[in-house]
Chain A
């Protein structure tokens, strides 16, 4: 097979595999959320479908598909339909540039008369010939910043006051916290001297994780974590969909699969943000590696997934522990606390690194 054919086939296989894993992770993080919230509130959570309610996401999916898809008369149709698609599209796209591990190396093997391989491909959907993307972090920031459109347009196109208020809150909140989020990451870029996610992980070898890069990395991590919660509209920043004030916020007027798409987008965004936190602050796939060669390939991926799982759990834990902010508190916190903190951290880190060099 020529290099191009191999590349195309590998890319398709990797895309399908990663999207499958991502969507499964999304479905099961909903299950996780329900189970953990039940545990926190001294309830059982889903128990009926399958052992421990493990088939509940499947049942939910079937329910969403078979529910009536209401098309309301008062909505602005093109954007009403486009909004959930935009939301899901951008939330799933950003997973393409995230590296999960070193690289997958399979020696040549035979299927009948065909010789396959040797295959050597990085654990990453989109990568150039060197197995890397040198602006990976910027691409993720760009795609997540485009994700606002799904929420904002849903609120506007629904033509209902609750939706509009939810959409306005969401876009104002996401634009505000994006600045703090972006600036909080620059110290990490300065330290690693790269935008490439692989280079950033490689700079954290020998337990030099950025979270223990005291105090710059630690401050950056907490600013990032808080802004990431606001970016994904999770409690304590879930003002855009505050049940007690706005019914359901921007997706009030959506039903069936269109509603499920917003749901998927929210959880996929959570996974992306958790992946980014893992890569930037917790050493990505780095961890103890031992055993036979196949285990040495798979263990880094396992460590990566374990760290991402920790952040997903943290998300759920925080959601069911903290109450919601008031909207003016949210804005004041973003602009008057997080942003100055991120900028001060950036300036001090830049000075420190410049003097050290």
Chain B
């Protein structure tokens, strides 16, 4: 009854947020627009009856991933974006590309779509159904995905870790860089003056 208008409103908010993400020049504004996109997507999931996915969308994407984005932007104190020649080329090629892509997708969807609406609750949405799908029907793909993520985490640790020698030196309480010995010539000069 109220579902369709609310669904459309949040769909519009989602698209507006996505466009704003591209238009804004400051990275923090773009990141916040992305938060709006994620949150309105969660509302769309909720309206489609996928409660669990909606909650996870908010917790993981809007709550954790985007907070880390904002955190990084704050930490690096990223300034406003500058336009280069590359960005003009991207604009010239990208806008027609998106238009063509959008037309193709909507044409395909409209041509092959089943016009009968699916009632809410017809598709698996409550946590129990999702759990059965994940841990029963699609257990192997699910576990393989988690291994993929584990590999990504290990990669991040390797990239961020410091070489063994420096770690050992830090543990001994010495500075990370080897202290440079004062050059002999300077010492000699000092000696002469004396």
Assess whether A153 is in contact with B67, with CB atoms less than 8 Å apart.
no
Interface flag for B103 (CB, 8 Å) = no
- Of A27-35, A99-107, A165-173, A298-306, the segment with at least 4 beta carbons within 8 Å of chain B is A165-173
Interface flag for B13 (CB, 8 Å) = no
Assess whether A152 is in contact with B127, with CB atoms less than 8 Å apart.
no
Interface flag for A49 (CB, 8 Å) = no
Interface flag for A315 (CB, 8 Å) = no
Query: Which of B28, B59, B75 is within 8 Å of A141, CB to CB?
Result: B59
Residue ID in chain B nearest A4 by CB atoms: B1
Query: Which of B35, B51, B73 is within 8 Å of A149, CB to CB?
Result: B35
Which B residues are in CB contact (< 8 Å) with A143?
Answer: 58
Which A residues are in CB contact (< 8 Å) with B70?
Answer: 149, 152-153, 156, 171
Assess whether A156 is in contact with B74, with CB atoms less than 8 Å apart.
yes
Assess whether A142 is in contact with B63, with CB atoms less than 8 Å apart.
yes
Assess whether B58 is in contact with A142, with CB atoms less than 8 Å apart.
yes
* A138/B28 contact (C-beta < 8 A), A152-B70, A168-B71, A175-B71 known: no
Which B residues are in CB contact (< 8 Å) with A134?
Answer: 51, 126-127
Residue ID in chain B nearest A195 by CB atoms: B127
Interface flag for A79 (CB, 8 Å) = yes
Interface flag for B147 (CB, 8 Å) = no
* A146/B63 contact (C-beta < 8 A), A134-B127, A135-B52 known: yes
Which A residues are in CB contact (< 8 Å) with B126?
Answer: 134
Which B residues are in CB contact (< 8 Å) with A135?
Answer: 51-52, 54-55, 127
Residue ID in chain A nearest B71 by CB atoms: A171
Interface flag for B148 (CB, 8 Å) = no
Q: Which of B67-125 contact A (CB under 8 A)?
A: 67-68, 70-71, 73-75
**Chain B interface residue number, banded:** 20 to 34
A182 to B58, CA, bound (A): 14
Residue ID in chain A nearest B55 by CB atoms: A138
Query: Which of A79, A148, A155, A156 is within 8 Å of B67, CB to CB?
Result: A148
Which one of B54, B68, B71 has the greatest number of beta carbons of chain A within 10 Å? B71
Assess whether B127 is in contact with A145, with CB atoms less than 8 Å apart.
no
Interface flag for A178 (CB, 8 Å) = yes
Which A residues are in CB contact (< 8 Å) with B62?
Answer: 142, 145-146
Which A residues are in CB contact (< 8 Å) with B39?
Answer: 146
How many Å from the CB of B60 to the closest CB on chain A? 9
How many Å from the CB of A85 to the closest CB on chain B? 13
Query: Which of A138, A139, A142, A164 is within 8 Å of B74, CB to CB?
Result: A164
A205 to B28, CA, bound (A): 48
Interface flag for B64 (CB, 8 Å) = yes
Residue ID in chain B nearest A155 by CB atoms: B74
* A142/B71 contact (C-beta < 8 A), A79-B28, A195-B127 known: no
Q: Which of B41-69 contact A (CB under 8 A)?
A: 42, 51-52, 54-56, 58-59, 62-64, 67-68
For B26-46 the 0/1 string (1 means CB < 8 A from A) is 001000100100010010000
Assess whether B55 is in contact with A139, with CB atoms less than 8 Å apart.
yes
A195 to B126, CA, bound (A): 10
* A138/B35 contact (C-beta < 8 A), A145-B63, A146-B62, A153-B70 known: no
* A152/B71 contact (C-beta < 8 A), A141-B59, A195-B127 known: yes
Which one of B52, B59, B75, B127 has the greatest number of beta carbons of chain A within 10 Å? B59
Which A residues are in CB contact (< 8 Å) with B52?
Answer: 135, 138
Residue ID in chain B nearest A170 by CB atoms: B71
A220 to B142, CA, bound (A): 27
* A167/B64 contact (C-beta < 8 A), A142-B59, A195-B127 known: no
Residue ID in chain A nearest B51 by CB atoms: A135
Which B residues are in CB contact (< 8 Å) with A146?
Answer: 39, 58, 62-63
Assess whether B63 is in contact with A148, with CB atoms less than 8 Å apart.
yes
Query: Which of A145, A152, A156 is within 8 Å of B59, CB to CB?
Result: A145
A195 to B125, CA, bound (A): 14
* A172/B55 contact (C-beta < 8 A), A146-B62, A148-B63, A178-B64 known: no
Assess whether A175 is in contact with B74, with CB atoms less than 8 Å apart.
no
Which A residues are in CB contact (< 8 Å) with B67?
Answer: 145, 148-149, 152, 171, 174-175
Residue ID in chain B nearest A164 by CB atoms: B74
A148 to B70, CA, bound (A): 10
Assess whether A175 is in contact with B68, with CB atoms less than 8 Å apart.
yes
A79 to B30, CA, bound (A): 13
How many Å from the CB of B128 to the closest CB on chain A? 9
Can you list 16 A-B contacts with CB-CB less than 8 angstroms, sorted by A residue number? A135-B54, A138-B55, A138-B56, A145-B64, A146-B63, A148-B67, A149-B67, A155-B74, A156-B73, A156-B74, A164-B74, A168-B74, A175-B67, A175-B68, A182-B59, A195-B127
Q: Footprint of A on B, CB under 8 Å? A: 28, 32, 35, 39, 42, 51-52, 54-56, 58-59, 62-64, 67-68, 70-71, 73-75, 126-127
Instruction: Contacts A146-B62, A148-B67, A175-B71 known; list 5 others, CB within 8 Å.
Output: A79-B28, A135-B51, A141-B59, A146-B58, A168-B75
The 10 residue pairs across chains A and B that have the minimum distance between CB atoms: A145-B63, A138-B55, A142-B58, A142-B59, A156-B74, A171-B71, A135-B51, A135-B55, A148-B67, A146-B63
